[in-house]
Amino acid sequence: MTTEKTRTIGYLCPSCRKKVIRDRSAFALAASGAAVNCECGRSSLTIDAEERRFRLSVPCGVCGGEHSAVLDANRLLEGKGVGLGCPQTKQLCCFIGEGYEVEREMERLSLAADKEATRGEDGELFVDSVIMHEVLSELKEIAAREHGISCACGSERYAMEVRPTYVDLICAGCGARLRIDAATDEDLDRLCCHWTLRIKGK
Ligand SMILES: [Zn+2]
Ligand SMILES: [Zn+2]
Ligand SMILES: [Zn+2]
């Protein structure tokens, strides 16, 4: 017996601040992508299916902007879930995966975004470990430098995927990724010796 596999897509509406959480069948996603709209009608997340990858455009409830990302198809369609980070604030702004995981991440995201809005705190609620927090703030510093984060393909736009033990920087131009380990003190030391970061390109 097979049950149709679904993926849950969640983001925070920059306009009305509500959580937007919708299910889509993995089959439909792979075939034609998806558009997920907030019920207020003022924001929409789009997923365009390309050959073996997806191009996403994500309204960001953290900085109020809009971010694009390229994800390999299996990352979006398989596994517990994948978080996309806001390049401006280095915080998660979108989560796609299993329903339960997405609900949980979105709950944390909206709590933290409320805090952000009222206190201007940086996002320690998003990450469990101190090291991850340090790594994200170091990345923020690197990104603030001129050509701080760039790709060999020439693009300086990128998305961030935040996982429990690492962060991937994903070039918005070619989809290449650079993995930043974020589990130990050594990982942090290694990152801190970089003045800039360069994604290798595809
Ligand atoms: Zn809305
Ligand atoms: Zn943002
Ligand atoms: Zn690139």
- Look at residues 17, 10, 16 and name the one whose alpha carbon lies nearest to residue 115: 17
Q: Give the single-character DSSP code of 79.
A: S
Residue 172 CA, ligand 2 centroid: distance in Å: 14
As a whole number of angstroms, the distance between CA 34 and CA 45 comes to: 8
In a domain, 112, yes or no: no
Residue 6 CA, ligand 3 centroid: distance in Å: 30
In a domain, 116, yes or no: no
Reported pTM:
0.60
Residue 84 CA, ligand 2 centroid: distance in Å: 10
Give the residue from 79, 99, 119 where a domain finishes. Answer: 99
Residue 172 CA, ligand 3 centroid: distance in Å: 7
For residue 163, give its domain range: 130-199
Does 77 share its domain with 160?
A: no
In a domain, 114, yes or no: no
* Residue with tokens 């907030």, as numbered in its chain: 38
Amino acid letter, residue 65: G
How big is the chain, counted in residues?
202
Does 135 share its domain with 92?
A: no
Residue 198 CA, ligand 3 centroid: distance in Å: 9
Residue 106 CA, ligand 1 centroid: distance in Å: 14
In a domain, 115, yes or no: no
Ligand nearest to the CA of 202: 3
Q: Which two three-digit tokens encode residue 22? A: 């919708």
Does 79 share its domain with 137?
A: no
In a domain, 120, yes or no: no
Residue 174 CA, ligand 3 centroid: distance in Å: 4
Does 35 share its domain with 94?
A: yes
Does 13 share its domain with 95?
A: yes
In a domain, 124, yes or no: no
Residue 195 CA, ligand 3 centroid: distance in Å: 19
Does 17 share its domain with 94?
A: yes
Residue 141 CA, ligand 2 centroid: distance in Å: 16
Q: What b/e readout covers 67-95, taking b as 16+ CB neighbours within 10 angstroms?
A: bbbbbebebbbeeebbbbbbbebbbbbbb
pLDDT tens by residue, the chain, 202 residues: 456 799 999 999 999 989 999 999 999 999 999 999 999 999 999 999 998 899 999 999 988 899 988 888 988 998 888 888 888 877 789 999 999 889 988 888 887 766 555 433 343 334 445 778 889 889 999 999 999 999 999 999 999 988 777 899 999 999 999 999 887 888 889 999 999 999 999 8
In a domain, 104, yes or no: no
Number of domains within the chain: 2
Does 73 share its domain with 150?
A: no
In a domain, 125, yes or no: no
